[in-house]
Amino acid sequence: METKNQKLREWVAEVEAMCQPDRVEWVDGSTAEYDRLMQLMVDCGMATKLNEQKRPNSFAFRSDPSDVARVENNTYIACKNQEDAGPTNNWIDPVELKKTMTELYTGCMKGRTMYVIPFSMGPIGSPISKIGIEITDSPYVVVNMHIMTRAGDKVIEALGEDGEFIPCLHSIGAPLAEGQEDVPWPCAPIEEKYIAHFPEENLIWSYGSGYGGNALLGKKCLALRIASNMAREEGWMAEHMLILRLTNPEGHRFHIAAAFPSACGKTNLAMLQATVPGWKVECIGDDIAWMKIGDDGRLHAINPESGFFGVAPGTSDKSNPMAMRSLDENSIFTNCALTDDGDIWWEGMDVPCDHAIDWKNNEWTPESDNVAAHANARFTAPAAQCPVICEDWEDPAGVPIDVFVFGGRRTQTVPLVTQALDFDHGVFMGAMAASETTAAALDVGQKLRRDPFAMLPFCGYNMADYWTHWFAMGDKLGDKAPAVFYVNWFRTSKEGRWLWPGFGENSRVLKWMCERVEGKVGAKETPIGHMPQDGDLDLSGLDIAPEDVTELLTVDAGAFKEDLADGEAYLAKFGDKVPERLRAQLEAQKTRLG
């Protein structure tokens, strides 16, 4: 569809002149377009159609081994003042970066088609939604954006002649000379990959990578890095949070938004199957929440995405059956293994596989030294296919949030659940969120990795200013602010045994939160916040030793003092930008611990 939006027409013409594609296509969002592009990629060897009987209308892709994940070291916040980006972002001068990237973009789409993707983050027309336009030379990006966003002609209609949009420019950085043969996954070498955000212009430029969040610019780039800055300026919130609805036996609905660092069971919680009789969980979103204050003074949230882009390895019928059912058809799989019967497989799927073609296109058996699927192998699936998707997941008004939850992976120190003493204390909890480190290179020499609000890689401005924004939102919400809780599903005994069964049993903890919001149960005050009293946590039918429950709900003051010292050292890197209210919470916690 031709747009009458002059600003958009001029930008597309400007990019076309710079990138020099062979042709330009405006994405209409139709099924016919999706099918045509998939067939194009099957024909050129980029995609493999999966067994139609086993997984209808689904496709597998293998990326180049150099292009398998978000490239954090090549992800930049380009603003005039380095302090505005803060110590946890890669800052770069916007003038210098644009010069470098313009040189790379010049002629970068030769021999390729330039696709113009109009997309809406959130239901089209919602007061909480935003429109983006992604220009790309990757058909893989187009089909993924079909699933992950509302894309095509309807967005052009909604944009109108003078509507605002966020420009998102992407190229794989692999021009084709005349007669040059293409490769299955074209991309630029690692030193030429740039994922750039210009928050002062609400602009995104990405070059060199065709993978995931580097290339699907509606995802982390727009929905978090750019949107977090827009949210601060406009008085709303863009958060790395799942959204779920929990309904009790009386039909009372509660809405929970929860932020967890990676490997903490976020998607599992979003699609939880409650084990408490009469309680029901429904998924509204598994990754990102955009929230604005409604006419009722409460915070209302939408899921700005329309699909799931999840990590495949470890996902199984045991760990997340609802995610598995979401992938039964109409899905895209990237860097998974291909089985002999034309289906996909990955480690942790909990089904046997004796032979496959691995993600690098080599023969694989269980005796092989390498994994069959890359650790960051992904699935892309329509959210509407999730069996527990909430009927109101696309309500343009959003759902009112009752509870915020933060958490991390901690084998010691942090109890199963704690409620903040008040909203300011809740902001402190979110700011101190941490997980124990892994064997990854970025964790060398550290015991804990602080990941405030699970936003460390995604906050598009200075994290200290982000905390200030949270306090400001709390002030605006007043007594209508959500209750705040902190959870840790990963506590172990001294011998290393899990103390809490996790998975569906986590609904017992969510039930306590909802009953706290309703005022149905009390709590005991501890130095770190409110915790369940004996008998308040519904453990009926659960085979768990009383001493394990005691340990799960124990506060070790000495261990928390050590934790607080680590947190204080973390805050030091932000200098005098740290909000006084956060420092006051730190001092109050010290006092309570004695």
| Active-site residue, from 168, 264, 283, 459 | 264
Start-end of CATH 2.170.8.10 domains in the chain:
308-382
Start-end of CATH 3.90.228.20 domains in the chain:
239-306+393-593
Convert the pLDDT of each residue in 375-411 to its tens digit: 999 999 999 999 999 999 999 999 999 999 999 999 9
The residue assigned the tokens 């909203």 is 423
Amino acid 443: pLDDT = 46
- Name residue 186's amino acid: P
Calculate the average pLDDT of the chain: 96
Convert the pLDDT of each residue in 120-131 to its tens digit: 999 999 999 999
Convert the pLDDT of each residue in 141-182 to its tens digit: 999 999 999 999 999 999 999 999 999 999 999 999 999 999
The percentage of residues in the chain with a pLDDT greater than 90, rounded to a whole number, is: 96
- The top-level CATH class assigned to 6-47+71-235 is alpha beta
**pLDDT band at 445; cut points 50, 70, 90:** low
Distance in angstroms (rounded) separating the CA atoms of residues 136 and 141: 7
Convert the pLDDT of each residue in 476-489 to its tens digit: 999 999 999 999 99
Amino acid 262: pLDDT = 81
Convert the pLDDT of each residue in 289-331 to its tens digit: 999 999 999 999 999 999 999 999 999 999 999 999 999 999 9
Convert the pLDDT of each residue in 24-43 to its tens digit: 999 999 999 999 999 999 99
Convert the pLDDT of each residue in 448-470 to its tens digit: 999 999 999 999 999 999 999 99
- Name residue 452's amino acid: P
Give just the sign of the alpha carbon dihedral 280, 285, 287, 293: negative
Q: What is the DSSP string of 251-294?
A: --EEEEEEE--TTS-HHHHHT----STT-EEEEEESS-EEEEE-
pTM: 0.97
Strand order in the sheet with 344-345: 344-345, 337-339, 356-357, 363-364
- Output the CATH code of domain 308-382: 2.170.8.10
The more confident residue out of 264 and 528 is 528
Say if residue 442's pLDDT is above 60.
no
Convert the pLDDT of each residue in 496-549 to its tens digit: 999 999 999 999 999 999 999 999 999 999 999 999 999 999 999 999 999 999
Concerning whether 514 is annotated as a catalytic residue, the answer is no
Q: What is the dihedral of CA 51, 57, 58, 63, to 10 degrees?
A: 110
**pLDDT band at 10; cut points 50, 70, 90:** very high
Segment 224-250 shows an average pLDDT of 98
Q: Collect contacts of 432-439 with beta carbons under 8 A, ≥24 apart.
A: 432/563, 432/567, 433/259, 433/261, 433/406, 433/407, 433/408, 433/486, 434/408, 434/410, 434/563, 434/566, 434/567, 435/261, 435/263, 435/264, 435/408, 435/409, 435/410, 436/408, 436/409, 436/410, 436/411, 438/263
Give just the sign of the alpha carbon dihedral 382, 388, 394, 398: negative
Segment 351-368 shows an average pLDDT of 97
Written as six digits, the tokens of 401 are 């949030």
Spatial contact of 566 and 431, defined as CB atoms under 8 Å apart:
no
- Domain 239-306+393-593, architecture per CATH: Alpha-Beta Complex (3.90)
Written as six digits, the tokens of 434 are 């941490």
Taking residue 412's Cβ as centre, other Cβ atoms within 10 Å add up to 14
Amino acid 119: pLDDT = 98
Start-end of CATH 3.40.449.10 domains in the chain:
6-47+71-235
Amino acid 438: pLDDT = 63
- CB contact set of 352 (below 8 Å; sequence gap of 6+): none
